[in-house]
Amino acid sequence: MRIYITGSKGQLGRALMRRLVQHDLLGVDLPEVDLTDLSATRSSIAAFKPHVIIHAAAMTDVDGAARNPDLAYRVNALGARNVAVASEATGAALLAISTNEVFDGTKSGPYLEFDLTNPINPYAQSKLAAEVFVRDLTTRFYIVRIAWLYGLGGNNFVRKIITRADTAGKLRVVTDEVSSPTYTEDLITAIEQLIPTGAYGIYHFTNDGACSRYEFAQKILELSGRAHIPIEPIVFADYPRPSTPPPYAPLRNFCGAQIGITLRPWQDALADYLAHEQF
């Protein structure tokens, strides 16, 4: 299978390039291909003639998106539009990575794929715009929503918690942001299972279960041998930042489970990651 991967230098993109080596791959990223340039995107995708495009490229700096919404819309929304247009023109199926932040975080339970979206920050609004372009402009698509992504070699929440614990000797972490951590290796396994099905639509692929940032940090310290490091629970109001995340936005994998695609509990995935990562 010929697979075109955008954002190939990012945390997920690098893992995709490493894991999918049995396929004919082309990974693109800046500066080689600027996905905000429709002509360049069309030319690159048309030349490769992929069977599938995995659109992992995005501006994921949520605070940066709040400071510069125009850039977020240009990269996330228009970039997805350009990939969608090129995908449809070449006849490729498109798998686009999205986010739990398309929801407002006011539901009492985990979000299903069918729940109404209502993003509350510029990053999330730009990602929902990307979803709309994918749905409107392509006939064969998968939209895969994830949350709190971490993976080998990435600059992610897990690494930041361990680094801060080692340098500061103590932590302060919010209790009022809750979601579902996602380990890149498990996400890619789910994507590998999904692509051949032709069961197009929207999917929630996070590790099973939910936790607060505080609970996630506690488990990171426990499993990495740092349980002795003190961690103070705080609320979001104590930690002001430009972007406002949804307070409660775990994702429930309903659609994937119906075709036999499930991800293991987040605690097990985190233990696996820590056993293989270097710190």
As annotated, the active-site residues are: 123
Residue for token digits 């489970």?
257
| 8 A C-beta contact, residue 97 and residue 57 | no
Backbone angles phi, psi at 55, to 5 degrees: -95, 90
**Type of residue numbered 12:** L
Which of these, 122, 260, 273, 254, lies nearest to 185 by C-alpha position?
Answer: 273
> Strand pairing partners for 2?
24
Q: Is 200 exposed, middle or buried (0-12, 13-18, 19+ CB in 10 A)?
A: middle
Structure tokens at 200: 């197009």
My answer on whether omega of the bond before 240 falls inside 30° of 0, hence cis, is no
Displacement of CA 162 from its chain's centroid (Å): 21
Cα angle 126, 127, 132 (rounded to 5 degrees) comes to 95
| 8 A C-beta contact, residue 194 and residue 253 | no
Structure tokens at 261: 């695609």
